Amino acid sequence: MSYSARFQELSSQFEIGKDVEIENSDILIRFFPFKSRRSFTGVSGEINSFIISDSVKENEVFEFPVFVQSSVKKYNEVILLLHGLNERNWSKYLPWAEYLCKHTGKAVLLFPIAFHVNRAPHTWSNPRFLQKMLDLRRNLHGQDRSLTFANVALSERLTDNPQRFYSSGRQSFDDIVKLITDIKAGKLPLFDRNIKIDVFAYSIGAFLSQVLFLSNPHDYFSESKLFMFCGGSIFNSMYGESRSIMDKKSYEKLFTFYQTGFWAEKIAIKTGDDVMAAFYSMLTPDNDKAKRMNIFKQMRQRIAGISLAFDKVVPYHGVVQALGHDCASKTITLLDFPYEYTHESPFPVTKQVDKQEVDESFLHVFRQAAGFLGN
């Protein structure tokens, strides 16, 4: 079966909150509830003034899906799959998760980043609400061709306050730590308390993963492997302007905010907060360069990944800046696909591309990912 056909089949069977046995497969999708823990409770007043705490019920209490094999009742290994920026559903990731589950024998847990997928307010999927927001934004900022229905909500949030990029990332970070803590406390009976956790991370999910691995809370990631696909770049080499991600105005404001002022003055370092320090080190190539590269060098055997030659959002040279040339050259494979693709759609399901070429490219990436994460 072709990738595009499997994409359609899985999308038609998948529904948030509904456990399902996938047709023509021995894979089940199970859902588990999660309540987010409010972040930033111990942070100094100076730093706390930069924290945005949006109260959105969908973001605080939600469910996450886990792909499992029907014959396995309990897992001692799991792959945490982290998605990209501005995702509104899991569709793109369903064939990815199914393949990894089937070919590694591990559970694959898809965890939504704060204010993404099913953690986003329902209004962000309401055409009438989005049209009003789109019209208002165009009146304020002009006819920007990069502004779309798909990116207007995120663009407006980040333009209003770019600190939300860190705040939502930090909430996601803390939620993942809480998730692992809950598993180790025996609160999720699907998993063994001594669970081994590896990570498959795409796009901004890779950036979040790098912060997790650099700060290594409670030593949870000391033995973990990390596979990055279309991700891993230092922040200031990413190019977020995209009709699927954010518009030009929000990207420019976001970029400027994290290169000057608060973060550039190393307030993050002064707090003694390991997470802020790790985030700061990923903003520009020279921020804590020696420490960052040394950590990645030490975990070189536990890192692998694939970058795409024409990825404009997360370019390979930014990955080299983040990991260092020696580490990147030994861990990250630079590929090009024989069809027109984008960062946002590496495996397009449109009729305009050769389906066999897409199938072969998908298998090339995920055989490598499964081989690395499955060992």
Task: Give pLDDT, residue 50.
Answer: 44
- pTM reported for the whole predicted model: 0.94
Q: What is the mean pLDDT of residues 344-358?
A: 93
Once rounded to an integer, what is the mean pLDDT over residues 336-345? 96
Q: Torsions phi, psi of 320, nearest 5?
A: -60, -40
pLDDT digits (tens, 9 = 90+) for 114-163: 999 999 998 888 889 899 988 889 888 877 888 998 999 999 999 999 98
Distance CA 283, CA 85 (A): 16
Residue 331 in tokens: 């861990």
Judge whether residue 105 has pLDDT over 80: yes
Q: What is the pLDDT of residues 244-280, one digit of tens each?
A: 999 999 999 999 999 876 666 655 556 678 998 899 9
Query: Given a cut of 80, is residue 52 above it in pLDDT?
Result: no
Question: Structural domain boundaries of the chain?
Answer: 3-373
pLDDT at 44: 39
For residue 238, pLDDT over 90 is answered with yes
- Percentage of the chain beyond pLDDT 90 is 79
Q: Which residue has the higher pLDDT, 149 or 364?
A: 364
Q: How far apart are CA 349 and CA 332, in angstroms?
A: 26
pLDDT of amino acid 145: 85
Q: Which two tokens stand for residue 320?
A: 């080299």
303 bridge partner residues: 226
Given this model, what pLDDT does residue 79 score? 98
The predicted-structure confidence for 191-200, as pLDDT tens digits, reads as follows 999 999 999 9
* Band of pLDDT at residue 352, cut at 50, 70 and 90: confident
Q: What is the mean pLDDT of the chain?
A: 91
Tens of pLDDT, residues 31-42? 999 999 864 433
Say if residues 179 and 66 touch (Cβ distance below 8 Å): no
Is residue 30 over pLDDT 60? yes
For residue 375, what pLDDT is reported?
A: 83
Q: Identify any residues that bridge with 79 across adjacent strands, giving them in sequence order.
A: 108, 198
Q: How far apart are CA 367 and CA 176, in angstroms?
A: 26
Q: Tell me, letter by letter, the H, E, C secondary structure of the chain.
A: CCHHHHHHHHHHHCCCCCCEECCCCCEEEEEEEEECCCCCCCCCHHHHCCCCCCCCHHHHEEEEEEEEECCCCCEEEEEEEECCCCCCCCHHHHHHHHHHHHHHCCEEEECCCCCCHHHCCHHHHCHHHHHHHHHHHHHHHCCCCCCCCCCHHHHHHHHHCCHHHHHHHHHHHHHHHHHHHHHHCCCCCCEEEEEEEEEEEECHHHHHHHHHHHHCHHHCCCCCCEEEECCCCCHHHCCCECCCCECHHHHHHHHHHCCCCCCCCCHHHHCCCHHHHHHHHCCCCCCCHHHHHHHHHHCHHHEEEEEECCCCCCCHHHHHHHHCHHHHHHHEEEECCCCCCCCCCCCCCCCCCCHHHHHHHHHHHHHHHHHHHCC
As a whole-number percent, the residues of the chain with pLDDT over 70 amount to: 93
pLDDT value of residue 87? 96
Cα–Cα distance between 147 and 352 in angstroms, integer?
A: 24
Pick the CATH number of 3-373 from 3.40.50.2300, 3.40.630.30, 1.20.140.10, 3.40.50.1820: 3.40.50.1820
pLDDT tens digits along 198-231: 999 999 999 999 999 999 999 999 999 999 999 9
The predicted pLDDT at position 66 comes to 98
Please give the pLDDT value at position 267.
56
